[in-house]
Chains A and B, each alone.
Chain A
């Protein structure tokens, strides 16, 4: 069974204090790993897709990286508006026959001004 584990569960940062979130996964064959952002009371919003080890994606203060067993979401010089829950998800089956998505429980980031 595919498993996705995110750590830490919660992260409190001071504005400007860079940090990283971890997403470790075990799947039979990775088709893609995805990061989403979720604000309180809202549905998740897509951020990045990573397909293979060594791949990196960036968006503003966020940078996602991927290895064979885990992914990191780096937040550089965060601002209060970066406060949210960040969700990691994986899609297994490299042959594209199964479109099931497995999510981690998320990391809740709070950035204080």
Chain B
């Protein structure tokens, strides 16, 4: 089954404790992206990657890091989480040509206290 998986699905952590949210896709897609979704603000793009070792900033990259060492994986790293990073996070993937038809993961709800 074609899918995008994220782990963990739910995470409660404390300010400053480094964390990683994993994202993996099994569709051999070149393009992968991370979004955060907040009430009233909609989905905002954090980072995206056009292919292995190629990443670029989205609209809200501050406080986040990404890496793309393998085509199927695109982890999101919060080195020093803060309460304003409490949000619902989505990973998505697509072929490079059809970046609009993105397949989204189930989401990770992160709470930073």
Contact = CB atoms under 8 A, between A and B. Distances in A.
Do A and B originate from a single complex?
yes
Interface of A: 4, 6, 32, 34, 41-46, 49, 87, 89, 91, 99-106
B100 A43 contact: no
Contacts of B48: 99-100
Given A43-B92, A44-B90, A91-B99, A102 B104 contact: no
Q: Is the interface of A mostly helix, strand, loop or mixed?
A: strand
A60 B56 CA distance: 37
Interface of B: 4, 31, 33, 35, 40-45, 48, 50, 56, 58-59, 90, 92, 96, 99-107
Interface of B is mostly: strand
Contacts, number: 61
List 8 A-B pairs, minimum CB-CB distance, nearest first.
A43-B104, A105-B42, A103-B43, A103-B42, A34-B100, A46-B101, A49-B100, A99-B99
Contacts of A99: 31, 48, 50, 56, 96, 99
